[in-house]
Amino acid sequence: MFKKILVANRGEIAIRVMRAAKELGVKTVAVYSEADKDAPHVQYADEAFPIGPAQSTLSYLHIPNIINAAVHTGAEAIHPGYGFLSENDHFARICETWGLAFIGPPATAIQQMGVKAGARKLMAEAGVPVVPGTDGTVSDVEEAKRVADSIGYPVLVKASFGGGGRGIRIVQDAEGLADALERASREAKSAFGQGDVYLEKYLINPRHIEIQVLADKHGNVVTLGERESSLQRRRQKVLEEAPSAAMTPDLRARMSEAAARAAKAVHYESAGTLEFLLDSSGAFYFMEMNTRVQVEHPCTESITGVDIVKEQLRVAAGLPLSITQDQVEFRGWSVECRINAEDPQLQFRPSPGTVTTWKEPGGPWVRVDAAAQAGYEVQPYYDSLLAKLVTWGRDREEAIERMARALDEFQVEGVKTTIGMHQQLMADPEFRRGNIHINFLAERFKGA
């Protein structure tokens, strides 16, 4: 195992990674921007190193400063967390060049899955069902029209390099197509530096179901079941759970098999997630792979007892996974609520400011992954996730009741949060019955 690692991230995920490191006896180096010099992740680490101004392009995304920090502090490996440099194959390669292990998949796997249009093709070739759409990217309007006619409207124009729910545009009919292609491409170019787009059939009210995979350098691939992430606001996840209320043992077996096949097709290593859409007929389709640890990984940890981040560290150090597929057992239900600093009254606009009161819930089977405290400044530069509140119960109902109780205990003042929205959700009869889909939240909450 490594002696020391650097965590190239901030907030709750930086602390999450350092906790895993600590349990493995690995020393940690935090990096921080000028805005974060007193941030909780800096306080948690064994050492900390400044990497530049608040703006993330000059700090958390600035590769030379991060490599410098790792070399200077004698770290042997870098964990990128999620967001920032986690799905940047150049970064993974540069780490290797400097003799630093990248705690994530091989650069080639990141690259193959990161180009979403190419990933669709690769998955189709591997026999994984993909959402009907174009074979690759489209630039030609006539070709796009042909494909859209054959799959049927509405269709989505998606940025091949998109992520975080951005770069997706819905087109209702042939008339809107040319304009949507052109705008989507222009937006993608400015947001992701790359204007390639592709078409996908727009599925009506499907569920978002994803499969967690782990793979090591010894050819072992293990799947840890599904999470449901259907509750989204503007295509960004808000609440996740594991397992899914829509799942059957047969469907789980088929989705897990497809996920393992997908991972093997790109010679995957480390933790990764295959995202699928499940339609009302029970058919599922590959959407994308997130080649990194996901925000909602704790739900899976809660029902399997597997520490996903520790497995990532083991794999990067060349050790085999600590579990085999036979040893994976599911127990009970887990729900995660993302507590964001956002104002539900103002279309969920980010709500930066100073946290004046911070009192976390506790008690049995309640997990809080957070990086805030009283006096903490919520920065406008970074994403608005303040905490992840995760509960476990013997069944879905108990996990939800426990979540309702924990949300009532959670006190945050000084900034607006999504706690109230989650409280409403816990009381929602349709949610309680498990009748959810990707547009459920928008139907329930104005501005969502």
Residue 211 CA to residue 271 CA, distance in Å, equals 11
Is the Cβ of residue 220 or residue 439 nearer to Mg ion in the bound state? 439
What DSSP state is assigned to residue 101? E
> Which of the listed partners (ligand ADP, Mg ion, none) does 301 bind, with a CB threshold of 5 to 8 Å by partner kind?
none
Angle at 442 between CA 438 and CA 444, to 5 degrees: 110
Is the Cβ of residue 56 or residue 256 nearer to ligand ADP in the bound state? 56
β-partners of residue 118 are none
Distance of CA 244 to the CA centre of its chain: 17
- Min dist. Cβ of residue 329 to ligand ADP (A): 24
State which residue has the least CB distance to ligand ADP.
163
Contacts for 92 with CB less than 8 Å, ≥ 6 apart: 102, 104, 105, 106, 107, 110
Active site residues: 292
Residue 221 CA to residue 368 CA, distance in Å, equals 29
Q: Where along the sequence are the contacts to ligand ADP (CB under 6 A)? A: 82-83, 131, 156, 162-165, 168, 200-203, 206, 208, 232, 235-237, 275, 277, 287-288, 290, 294-296, 383, 438
> Which of the listed partners (Mg ion, ligand ADP, none) does 336 bind, with a CB threshold of 5 to 8 Å by partner kind?
none
Contacts for 47 with CB less than 8 Å, ≥ 6 apart: 27, 28, 29, 30, 73
Q: Are 176 and 144 in contact (CB under 8 A)?
A: no
> Which of the listed partners (Mg ion, ligand ADP, none) does 294 bind, with a CB threshold of 5 to 8 Å by partner kind?
ligand ADP
Is the Cβ of residue 240 or residue 275 nearer to Mg ion in the bound state? 275
Angle at 393 between CA 287 and CA 279, to 5 degrees: 25
Structure tokens at 204: 């009506």
State which residue has the least CB distance to Mg ion.
275
- Min dist. Cβ of residue 34 to ligand ADP (A): 20
Is the Cβ of residue 216 or residue 383 nearer to Mg ion in the bound state? 383
> Which of the listed partners (Mg ion, ligand ADP, none) does 235 bind, with a CB threshold of 5 to 8 Å by partner kind?
ligand ADP
In angstroms, what CA-CA distances link 313 with 27, 74, 75, 260?
Answer: 12, 17, 13, 20
- Min dist. Cβ of residue 7 to ligand ADP (A): 15
> Which of the listed partners (Mg ion, ligand ADP, none) does 67 bind, with a CB threshold of 5 to 8 Å by partner kind?
none
Fill in the per-residue mask, 241 to 280: x = in contact with Mg ion (CB under 5 A), - = not in contact.
----------------------------------x-----
Is the Cβ of residue 291 or residue 391 nearer to Mg ion in the bound state? 291
Q: Which residues bind Mg ion (CB under 5 A)?
A: 275
